[in-house]
């Protein structure tokens, strides 16, 4: 087999599929009669004049039918076509329309698009890695993905770029099967569309110049928990509760926390996520001098179907409670020259107490 034939075959097979689809209303014997040997003839045609000589399969089928003395109209063929062929036909038609519309523009834009195609191949590779970075990487987000460090991020971008370029050159699945498989075609289309659609998402992850890191965290955390901008941050998540332990590792209940300026550390939050039983965790603050104190920890929570606090919740059969971290062992801590607070807790005091 010559290189020429190898190269031309997928296009011819696709062309044949398109032509056959437009002969599908004929009886099998007639179809066989019309298409038998056609592939060889088309292969010769393409070998001599290039794949452009194939033309439009619909026109071709019509001409073939007319010359063979059959009704040139394909009738109800489309309704009987398998779903795969229908999708294929739809994609082909869309592609055709696009190509034709493009061909009408001045200055051969299709050649320009072909020339910049590799830029898109690289861009989508970078987008893919950035997307992984948005969910698994460190914050704040950077143009070089920082998954476990910029070196790994850059390496991943390089690897993704190679895969993407090979896809673009139709050397890898699913692109290598685009001519023959509807599934491969749809997968590839889906991947490209996903890349396009997610571009704004990825770009919006970069902190704008002048924007503080705190604000950036605020935006990132909105997916499950709505947090006021003044909230505490731990890692890349808003803090929803604080569990204090003393230097000996004993849990402390009712600890009041203040910042460097004497302001209460306010951890106000609403949990926007509901579990399978359709309940959500709602925080019930401690009370200080008749007002709610959101800086006293740990905070008590109650699982309920509504995210508004229930009046008289403390007298309900299932009052708000502090859920200490199960089997959480806190090591001893020390600082030279500093004597830790001497807090001795009687055994079994891990229940909720209201502040004075």
Partner 1 sequence: MDTTQLLKGVLDLAVLAVVDGEDGYGYDILRRLRTGGLDEVGDASVYGTLRRLYAAGALTSYVVPSESGPHRKYYGITTAGRDQLKSQRDDWHHFSTTVTGLLRDDRPKQGAAS
Q: Which residues sit at the interface with partner 1, rule CB under 8 A?
A: 1-2, 5, 9, 33-34, 36-41, 43-45, 59-61, 63-69
Check: CB of residue 307 under 8 Å from CB of residue 226. no
Q: Name the residue nearer to partner 1 (CB basis): 2 or 260.
A: 2
Q: Name the residue nearer to partner 1 (CB basis): 1 or 344.
A: 1
Shortest distance in whole angstroms from residue 84 CB to partner 1: 22
Q: Name the residue nearer to partner 1 (CB basis): 59 or 275.
A: 59
Q: Name the residue nearer to partner 1 (CB basis): 22 or 216.
A: 22
Quick one: which of 61, 66, 69 has its CA closest to 38? 61
Shortest distance in whole angstroms from residue 39 CB to partner 1: 4
Shortest distance in whole angstroms from residue 99 CB to partner 1: 21
Distance of alpha carbon 24 from alpha carbon 12, whole angstroms: 18
* Residue written as token pair 């106000």: 268
Q: Name the residue nearer to partner 1 (CB basis): 60 or 120.
A: 60
- 210 sits in which H/E element: none
Shortest distance in whole angstroms from residue 41 CB to partner 1: 4
Check: CB of residue 61 under 8 Å from CB of residue 23. yes
Shortest distance in whole angstroms from residue 51 CB to partner 1: 14
Q: Name the residue nearer to partner 1 (CB basis): 37 or 289.
A: 37
Judged on CB neighbours under 10 Å (0-12, 13-18, 19+), 38 is middle
Distance of alpha carbon 5 from alpha carbon 13, whole angstroms: 12
Shortest distance in whole angstroms from residue 66 CB to partner 1: 7
Q: What is the CA radius of gyration of the chain?
A: 33
Q: Name the residue nearer to partner 1 (CB basis): 41 or 275.
A: 41
For residue 76, give every residue at least 6 positions away whose Cβ sits within 8 Å of its Cβ, in sequence order, or none.
25
Check: CB of residue 209 under 8 Å from CB of residue 200. no
Per-position DSSP letters for 170-194, written without gaps between them: T-STTGGGTTT-HHHHHHHHHHHHH
Shortest distance in whole angstroms from residue 71 CB to partner 1: 12
How many helices (DSSP H) and strands (DSSP E) are in the chain?
Answer: 10, 10
């Amino acid at each position: 087999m010559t290189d020429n034939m190898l190269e031309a075959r997928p296009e011819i097979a696709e062309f044949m599929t398109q032509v056959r689809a437009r002969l599908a209303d004929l009886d099998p014997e007639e179809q066989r009669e019309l298409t038998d040997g056609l592939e060889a003839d088309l292969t010769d045609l393409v070998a001599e004049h290039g794949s452009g000589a194939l033309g439009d399969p619909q026109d071709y089928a019509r001409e073939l039918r007319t010359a063979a003395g059959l009704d040139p109209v394909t009738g109800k063929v489309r309704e009987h076509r398998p779903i795969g062929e229908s999708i294929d036909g739809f994609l082909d038609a869309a592609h055709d329309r696009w190509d034709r519309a493009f061909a009408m523009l001045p200055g051969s834009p299709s050649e320009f698009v072909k020339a910049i195609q590799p830029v898109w191949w690289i861009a989508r590779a970078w987008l893919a890695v950035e997307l992984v970075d948005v969910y698994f990487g460190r914050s704040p987000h950077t143009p070089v993905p920082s998954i476990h460090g910029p070196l790994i991020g850059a390496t991943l971008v390089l690897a993704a770029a190679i895969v993407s370029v090979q896809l673009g050159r139709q050397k890898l699945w699913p692109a290598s099967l685009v001519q023959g498989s509807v599934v491969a075609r749809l997968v590839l289309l889906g991947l490209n569309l996903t890349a396009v659609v997610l571009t704004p998402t990825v770009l919006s992850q970069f902190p704008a110049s002048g924007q503080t890191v705190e604000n950036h965290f605020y935006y990132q955390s909105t997916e499950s928990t709505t947090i006021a901008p003044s909230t505490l941050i731990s890692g890349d998540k808003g803090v929803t509760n604080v569990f204090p332990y003393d230097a000996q590792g004993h849990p402390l209940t009712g600890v009041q926390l203040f910042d460097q300026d004497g302001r209460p550390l306010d951890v106000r939050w609403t949990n926007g996520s509901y579990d399978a039983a359709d309940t959500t965790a709602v925080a019930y603050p401690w009370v200080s001098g008749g007002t709610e104190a959101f800086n006293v920890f740990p905070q008590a929570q109650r699982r309920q179907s509504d995210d508004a606090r229930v009046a008289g919740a403390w007298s309900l059969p299932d009052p708000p409670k502090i859920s200490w971290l199960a089997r959480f062992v806190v090591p001893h801590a020390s600082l030279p020259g500093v004597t830790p607070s001497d807090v001795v807790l009687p055994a079994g005091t891990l229940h909720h107490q209201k502040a004075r």
